[in-house]
A and B are shown apart, each in its own frame.
Chain A
């Protein structure tokens, strides 16, 4: 196993080991590049995962202090938990559902297609679907996405069958068990799905793709990748010429270390990544690293989300099998005649009893609430995920008061719904309820967004340096050897789940970085 010296300034240092950082690290290691990967969390392996929602949350979730503001309900119900993401090796690929969809063509050019939407900071990506297609193909092959690469779709569980029956009655056409990075048959030395139903608690069978066991071990096997868990990146240092030279991080005991770097790639997810850049401010970069545009931390997106749960007169047992077992894709199109720009996906979702109690209607109590809970065995559910508008005022900043155990300001997340988001959500609730009513639901529950599992946009890509933080390779405009590798690169959120795009961008970025290193450009 590789072990690099702190003073080895020839290494690429990657902050974060999730979909972006984990993939980038393996890809670079395969190309002979030396990589040190700093992961804030511990290394929890599948044998340690637990099929118990609260115990798993304690084990895996990022619960470091954060603050919130804005009109989103999360700020009221979960003031210090704006996001439900993972703090362990593998990042949020440990607990994700596996949905792996490509952007649509228009979703890369939202400013051109939607026009000027008041209050929205819309901008086209500096890349296109056509450019991304070969990288999407590589990502789908790498992750083993069903319905690509001759991989059969997964079988539908009870929850999916209810949604499918209702969808077809309503006339929806694109209804299937999804494009999922979950093995429907053995592939890539990983077994096939056992329908365990605790996807959000880490896949104990390994059927679901995660950088933890599908990318990182391959990178480590080359001898070029060293993963350091329990290593919290605190600051990125630069030299007098303005290029980054090292990452300061704290180990498990709180002791600081300085790892030199030829290149730094930040992939700490969309709240920590801008926080790291802002906390790395210096006299040369008083507004934080790579922030000449002022856009670091801004344009925070969390997708238009919500859920619909419905109760029937007969049993469903929706918790049996994959948490996200299928999709209705029809509403993901852009169709302003519905009253909003952009679209949304309808994807089945199940929660266990403990999480249903916590998230069905946070704060609710009394018989209206317990009547809903008693419907649990006869409940079906779906998650609505759609494109939310980037707004400059939706942003991650450094909290003026709260500090972490190292004395550094914690992240504060401000989010207000845009009228487009509200219109889309209302439409989605109505359609979701209609799907279930079409097959006999006796009651439906529109459910408020959970703490964000999709966090995007806070170091956005742009063609011009004044409009964003990075170029189409995730390279920061201001600092040539500083890259961003996670979903904070996204210029728009699109309707679909982000992981496939993050992985595709990381594969592309590895190719670019390796080439630039070889040409001695960085």
Chain B
């Protein structure tokens, strides 16, 4: 049976954005826990780097996939900056939402959201705001902005567009080989 190469064709490209940073990646206690460099957040025009980095953490906690590096979540969250620039209502929604999460985190765990070390504990905080407009809007946007990234599809064994490859008639549409004989 023809399997799909999980590495995909694009794994190098997404790491090339942003300037090389002088700060070593392994900064410890004050780190947001987000890998690679944070230059992408400094490029934002409207939302603060801290807000954006919190949103990326929230995004991963909403749809956690351990085999996906941060860049996929960053790609999914980045467009909120442009939306916030165009609409002050969006800016307020996101900043108030993140502010509320950070306050809940301080109350419960004595640190801001991104510094709560265990995912399970952060999920408790998200459950607390599950019915807010902030959470609903972020999640419903994320289900498209995350899973609609073509670069991510091979990781889930999905091959995307097919017609230009002649369909699957010669590419294993019926090559399953482990079923019992009927």
Task: Judge whether A54 and B163 touch: CB under 8 Å.
Answer: no
Let me know if B139 is at the binding interface, CB within 8 A. Answer: yes
Q: How far is the CB of A370 from chain B (nearest CB, A)?
A: 5
Task: Judge whether A321 and B153 touch: CB under 8 Å.
Answer: no
Task: Judge whether A320 and B168 touch: CB under 8 Å.
Answer: yes
- A54-78: CB near B (< 8 Å → 1, else 0) gives 1000000000000000000000000
Identify which of B158, B172, B178, B180 contacts A353 (C-beta below 8 A). B158
Task: Judge whether B63 and A369 touch: CB under 8 Å.
Answer: yes
Task: Judge whether B139 and A317 touch: CB under 8 Å.
Answer: no
> Which stretch from B23-31, B33-41, B99-107, B141-149 is at the chain A interface?
B141-149
Let me know if A200 is at the binding interface, CB within 8 A. Answer: no
> Which stretch from A123-131, A160-168, A242-250, A251-259 is at the chain B interface?
A160-168
Task: Judge whether A377 and B179 touch: CB under 8 Å.
Answer: no
Let me know if B166 is at the binding interface, CB within 8 A. Answer: yes
Task: Judge whether A315 and B1 touch: CB under 8 Å.
Answer: yes
> In whole angstroms, what is the CA distance A352 to B160 when docked?
8
Given the interface contacts A51-B161, A204-B163, A439-B179, does A155 sit within 8 Å of B153 by beta carbon? no
Of all chain B residues, the one with the shortest Cβ separation from A158 is: B176
Let me know if A157 is at the binding interface, CB within 8 A. Answer: yes
Of all chain A residues, the one with the shortest Cβ separation from B159 is: A319
B61 CB contacts on chain A under 8 angstroms:
366
Q: How far is the CB of A159 from chain B (nearest CB, A)?
A: 9
A354 CB contacts on chain B under 8 angstroms:
144, 147-148
Let me know if A156 is at the binding interface, CB within 8 A. Answer: yes
Task: Judge whether B178 and A314 touch: CB under 8 Å.
Answer: yes
Interface centre among A162, A169, A193, A376 (most CB of B within 10 A): A376
B180 CB contacts on chain A under 8 angstroms:
165, 169, 439
Let me know if A373 is at the binding interface, CB within 8 A. Answer: yes
Of all chain A residues, the one with the shortest Cβ separation from B180 is: A165
Let me know if A453 is at the binding interface, CB within 8 A. Answer: no
A204 CB contacts on chain B under 8 angstroms:
163
Task: Judge whether A157 and B174 touch: CB under 8 Å.
Answer: yes
> In whole angstroms, what is the CA distance A132 to B62 when docked?
52
A374 CB contacts on chain B under 8 angstroms:
65, 67, 156
Given the interface contacts A165-B180, A357-B143, A376-B158, does A205 sit within 8 Å of B167 by beta carbon? yes
Of all chain A residues, the one with the shortest Cβ separation from B153 is: A353
Q: How far is the CB of B29 from chain A (nearest CB, A)?
A: 27
Let me know if A481 is at the binding interface, CB within 8 A. Answer: no
Identify which of A49, A198, A205, A370 contacts B65 (C-beta below 8 A). A370
Task: Judge whether A366 and B169 touch: CB under 8 Å.
Answer: no
- B1-28: CB near A (< 8 Å → 1, else 0) gives 1111000000000000000000000000
Q: How far is the CB of A203 from chain B (nearest CB, A)?
A: 9
Task: Judge whether B148 and A157 touch: CB under 8 Å.
Answer: no
Let me know if A367 is at the binding interface, CB within 8 A. Answer: yes
Task: Judge whether B182 and A51 touch: CB under 8 Å.
Answer: no
Q: How far is the CB of A267 from chain B (nearest CB, A)?
A: 29
- B126-141: CB near A (< 8 Å → 1, else 0) gives 1000000000000100
Task: Judge whether B168 and A376 touch: CB under 8 Å.
Answer: no
Q: How far is the CB of B65 from chain A (nearest CB, A)?
A: 5
Let me know if B64 is at the binding interface, CB within 8 A. Answer: yes
Total contacting residues, chain A, CB less than 8 A: 48
- B53-77: CB near A (< 8 Å → 1, else 0) gives 0000000011111010000000000
Task: Judge whether B65 and A158 touch: CB under 8 Å.
Answer: no
Total contacting residues, chain B, CB less than 8 A: 42
Given the interface contacts A357-B143, A366-B123, A377-B158, does A321 sit within 8 Å of B163 by beta carbon? no
> In whole angstroms, what is the CA distance A164 to B171 when docked?
21
Let me know if B173 is at the binding interface, CB within 8 A. Answer: yes
- A330-353: CB near B (< 8 Å → 1, else 0) gives 000000000000000000000011
Of all chain B residues, the one with the shortest Cβ separation from A203 is: B163
Task: Judge whether A321 and B174 touch: CB under 8 Å.
Answer: yes
Task: Judge whether B4 and A196 touch: CB under 8 Å.
Answer: no
Interface secondary structure of A, over-half rule: loop
Task: Judge whether A196 and B167 touch: CB under 8 Å.
Answer: yes
Task: Judge whether B174 and A161 touch: CB under 8 Å.
Answer: yes
Let me know if B157 is at the binding interface, CB within 8 A. Answer: yes
> In whole angstroms, what is the CA distance A365 to B142 when docked?
10
Task: Judge whether A357 and B161 touch: CB under 8 Å.
Answer: no
Let me know if B87 is at the binding interface, CB within 8 A. Answer: no
Task: Judge whether A157 and B179 touch: CB under 8 Å.
Answer: no
> In whole angstroms, what is the CA distance A195 to B168 when docked?
5
Task: Judge whether A365 and B139 touch: CB under 8 Å.
Answer: yes
Identify which of A52, A366, A370 contacts B161 (C-beta below 8 A). A52
Of all chain B residues, the one with the shortest Cβ separation from A52 is: B161
> In whole angstroms, what is the CA distance A374 to B63 when docked?
11
Q: How far is the CB of B145 from chain A (nearest CB, A)?
A: 10
- A287-320: CB near B (< 8 Å → 1, else 0) gives 0000000000000000000000000001111011
Task: Judge whether B64 and A165 touch: CB under 8 Å.
Answer: no
> In whole angstroms, what is the CA distance A193 to B169 when docked?
8
Let me know if A197 is at the binding interface, CB within 8 A. Answer: yes
Within 8 A of B (CB), among A352-391: 352-354, 356-358, 363, 365-367, 369-370, 373-374, 376-378
Within 8 A of B (CB), among A118-172: 155-158, 161-162, 164-165, 168-169
Task: Judge whether A156 and B174 touch: CB under 8 Å.
Answer: yes
> In whole angstroms, what is the CA distance A444 to B159 when docked?
23
Task: Judge whether A358 and B143 touch: CB under 8 Å.
Answer: yes
B182 CB contacts on chain A under 8 angstroms:
164-165, 168-169
> In whole angstroms, what is the CA distance A82 to B76 when docked?
27
> In whole angstroms, what is the CA distance A15 to B126 when docked?
48
Instruction: Report 9 cross-chain contacts, Cβ distance below 8 Å, ordered by A residue.
Output: A52-B160, A155-B174, A161-B174, A198-B162, A317-B172, A321-B169, A321-B173, A321-B174, A357-B144
7 nearest A-B pairs in the assembled complex, by CB-CB distance? A377-B157, A194-B167, A321-B173, A51-B161, A357-B147, A196-B167, A353-B158
A315-B3, A321-B169, A370-B65 given; 15 more Cβ-contact pairs under 8 Å: A155-B173, A161-B176, A164-B182, A168-B182, A169-B182, A194-B167, A196-B167, A197-B167, A197-B168, A205-B167, A315-B1, A321-B168, A357-B143, A376-B156, A377-B4
